[in-house]
Structure 1
Amino acid sequence: MALLLMSIMVLLLILNFPMLVSMIIAPFVVLVQYYPNVNPFLATQQLVGGVSAFVLLAVPMFIFAADIMCAGQTAKRLLDFVEVFVGHIHGGMGITTAATCTLFGAISGSTQATVVAVGKPMKKRLVESGYRDSDTIALIISSAIIALLIPPSISMIMYSVVTGASVGDMFIAGLIPGLLILSFFSVFIYFDSKRKNIPKSATLSKAERMKAFKDAIAPLGFPVIIFVGIYAGIFSPTEAAAVSVLYAVILELFIFKSIKLKDFERIALSTAVVTSAVFILVSAGQLFSWVISYARIPQLLTSSLLGPNPSQLMILVWVTIFFFIGCSFVDSIVVIIIVTPIFFPIAVAAGIHPIHLGIIVTLQAAIGSITPPFGCNIFTASAIFDRPFLAVIKGLGPYLLMLVVISIIIIAFPWLSLVLIS
């Protein structure tokens, strides 16, 4: 049964069918072949039910807010703010890139939006500062993945929809792991730029720093609104998404005046296209998850891999392997929807906290987005920088190694994921 399911999916993908088609047809064939007494209309109900969760309303709103900010001045102001404070040290421009990706990730929740918004203006600055082209691209796409660990991460929302975990707890729990990645990257950039003798930027005056700070006060309000609002219980994650859209409109339309009313049609259309793709995948994923659960494939797979009484460490290692490999071939949303139901029940039964598991899943989704052959950030960077595949992945080695080390740390020390929600 599992072999038939995977064979159909692989065959359809080889024949160049879209992922959503293979995710719908494969489980439907299994359902008809092995469970002819099951009413086929139940499959339709699962497709509809997959996008009925209230928390999914946050996804188009966070995407819309990110699109508004990408069209405006938010990213540039954040870049200037970070640069005036760290640009004068060894690796200052690189650290500026990593820190700005973290800040923008705390606004957009999308790794690809971060690559576009921060990467476009920052790549030229990095090259002019003496960084090699391959190092520059690797730094940008690697730093952009912090967006998936820092709230409001869309991957965290997907995990919560699949498992029923608290979106607010996931957002808060991702803060320390996200900052840990930033710290590792910053230390590496500092010593690597010192070793390569990359020139430092000039130290700016107090007045210039104050001006950059004043310009960034309004954009810095985004993460404050989202994090403090959710942490303090002022509003839910879905309400936070709505507030972020309103704040983005006020900021870019009325305060910065960087966009006009006529631009909203184009921005909204872009948001609608991305949202449609996400929701179709979520709907198809729900059908896929329902069929494999009905067929008890998760229980059969986990029992053969893990044995009757697996340890927490064994479970987390297999989760890491499955998600790392899966997300390097397929979009992380698809992998989260399909693979999470396989491991979630047995992980919880073994005493693993759902939020800790969610952080590990999200971290692997983030790593997968920059892992060859099909990491989404790789192709995003290839498109916006007009660089070939091999040039994009050339400098990724050190960052992937650091992320593997961070994965081991998060697995070994669960309190890093749970201390803020306990």
Structure 2
Amino acid sequence: MGYSFFALTSGLLVLGLPIFVALLLAVFIGLHLGGSTPLMLIIQRMFSGLDSFPLMAIPLFILAGNLMSTSGLSARILKVALLLVGPFRGGLAMTTVTGSMFFGAISGSSPATVVSVGRLILPSMLKEGYDRQFSVGLLMATGALGIIIPPSIFMIVYGAMAGVSIGALFMAGIGAGAVYGSVFLAYCYYRARRAGMQSQPFPNMSELLAAIREAIWGLAIPVIILGGIYSGLFTPTEAAAVAVIYSAAVGLFVYRDLTLKDIWKVCVDSSVVTTQVMIIVSAAAAFSWYLTTSSLTDSLSAALGQLSDNPLMLLLIINCIVLIAGMFLDPNSIVIILVPLVVSVAQAAGIDLIHLGVILCVNCAIGMFTPPFGMNLFVASSLDNVSYGEAVRGSLPLVWLALIVLVLINVFPAISLWLPSVVMPGIAG
């Protein structure tokens, strides 16, 4: 039964149906063939899957990210990044990495990071003579940091599903994101050195301080969000609401690049994105419910647990499953479908659930720019007449680099767990 159900779901996805339609149709067929369960329960489980206080943070963080993007924050952040790392060899490439890290800490979204940074930095990289495929690949790979560095929509969903602290997950994402970004910075420097690129004079301190002052209102957002959460001032969901109010106030009254007309458009755009995310979350919740009530979760978890009682080998299996899933599904669908299958097995093997969440997150980040259906491939194809083929060719070498980061995070749990164990002792570590 289990293999037939997953074969049915896979077949529906291969047919090109939208993800939420494929998941719901598979559940509908499974219940219909079962014959005894009312089909109305599908609708009920969809709504109950959305009835979660932590999930309320998702539309709020999406709105906050769009508000800051529209207010011109991207250009200000990239200016700071350019002044900090631009003078080094491969400075523009390193600016792409650093800018993606900064913007990822605001948007919480990988595609939003690719678009916001790419529109500003890609033309400059091509003008400076950077290889087109490398430039696009780097933009997609570092844009994936948007779901690793907090605030992360993926981690909110995982925390709600696995029942672990979202604040601890956010803190764990800082360590993982720093390692990910550092590896790509080192690669940019190595590639520039090999190509014979020269370093540039460093800016004077007054110029750097002026740029930081101009961008400080935006750069303060992650500090406000994380500081408020870890000080106990507000929950992650309340932090998202604070971020929305703060973003609107900065855009309207400080930068003054945001108008009331812009706010209306941002709200509409954010509603569309929220709907796209939430309908997948609701469908995946119904899918997860069916797996649990039909005992498919127990049988599949037992099968997975029998494959290995070695935590490292179990992690290897989980990584392979999620990497393959990431080539075809979006991160939110993956986490909701797979969490019920792997959490109990991981706990039995002694794997920390916060560490597991970061591992799943990095896997899904890699899937965002892995062919054939990585979302960043299609987002990048909308920038500067980039073709899908160019995006694929640019992504492949950097997938291998990201896999090195993934191995490091798997083998050295302290990368994820050290910071939350210090800041939130007793919750992680």
Taking structure 2 as the reference length, the TM-score comes to: 0.94
CA shift digits 1:159-215 (9 cap, x unpaired): 112211111111111110100011100111011011112344443233222211211
Cα shift at 1:40? 3.0
Partner AA of 1:23 in structure 2: L
CA shift digits 1:345-381 (9 cap, x unpaired): 1111222111011010101010100111110011100
Unmatched 5+ stretches in structure 1: none
CA shift digits 1:43-76 (9 cap, x unpaired): 3221111100011111011101111122121111
Residues 404 and 15 (structure 1 numbering): CA distance in 2 closer, same or farther, change over 3 Å? closer
Instruction: Indicate whether 1:70 and 2:69 are aligned.
Output: yes
Name the count of aligned residue pairs: 421
Instruction: Indicate whether 1:342 and 2:353 are aligned.
Output: no
CA distance in 1: counterparts of 2:304 and 2:256, whole angstroms: 57
Partner AA of 2:210 in structure 1: K
Kept in 2: contact 1:222–1:244 (CA 8 A): yes
Instruction: Indicate whether 1:301 and 2:296 are aligned.
Output: no
CA shift digits 1:286-322 (9 cap, x unpaired): 1100111122223322433441762211221111111
- Using the TM superposition, name which of 88-97 and 38-47 deviates more: 38-47
The residue that corresponds to 1:239 in the other structure is 238
Cα shift at 1:17? 2.6
Kept in 2: contact 1:129–1:199 (CA 8 A): no
Unmatched 5+ stretches in structure 2: 422-429
What secondary structure does 1:419 align onto?
A: helix
Kept in 2: contact 1:306–1:314 (CA 8 A): no
Cα shift at 1:344? 1.0
Kept in 2: contact 1:109–1:147 (CA 8 A): yes
| CA RMSD, 1 decimal | 1.6
Instruction: Indicate whether 1:316 and 2:315 are aligned.
Output: yes
- Using the TM superposition, name which of 194-203 and 78-87 deviates more: 194-203
The residue that corresponds to 2:181 in the other structure is 182
Kept in 1: contact 2:307–2:314 (CA 8 A): no
The residue that corresponds to 1:331 in the other structure is 330
- Percent identity over the alignment is 34
- Using the TM superposition, name which of 56-65 and 10-19 deviates more: 10-19
Cα shift at 1:327? 1.0
CA shift digits 1:84-108 (9 cap, x unpaired): 1221111111111101100111111
Kept in 2: contact 1:63–1:271 (CA 8 A): yes
Partner AA of 1:283 in structure 2: S
1:111-122 matches, within 5 Å, as 111-122=110-121
What secondary structure does 1:165 align onto?
A: coil
Kept in 2: contact 1:292–1:298 (CA 8 A): yes
1:398-417 matches, within 5 Å, as 398-417=397-416
Residues 125 and 11 (structure 1 numbering): CA distance in 2 closer, same or farther, change over 3 Å? same
Kept in 1: contact 2:45–2:285 (CA 8 A): yes
Partner AA of 1:248 in structure 2: S
The residue that corresponds to 2:154 in the other structure is 155
CA distance in 2: counterparts of 1:65 and 1:259, whole angstroms: 13
CA distance in 2: counterparts of 1:129 and 1:309, whole angstroms: 51
1:257-296 matches, within 5 Å, as 257-296=256-295
Partner AA of 1:251 in structure 2: V
Instruction: Indicate whether 1:3 and 2:3 are aligned.
Output: yes
The residue that corresponds to 1:30 in the other structure is 30
Kept in 1: contact 2:123–2:384 (CA 8 A): no
Cα shift at 1:278? 0.8
Kept in 1: contact 2:68–2:218 (CA 8 A): no
Partner AA of 1:96 in structure 2: T
CA distance in 2: counterparts of 1:308 and 1:253, whole angstroms: 56
CA distance in 2: counterparts of 1:179 and 1:5, whole angstroms: 40
Partner AA of 2:251 in structure 1: E
CA distance in 2: counterparts of 1:309 and 1:267, whole angstroms: 48
Cα shift at 1:113? 0.4
The residue that corresponds to 1:386 in the other structure is 385
What secondary structure does 2:50 align onto?
A: coil
The residue that corresponds to 2:356 in the other structure is 357
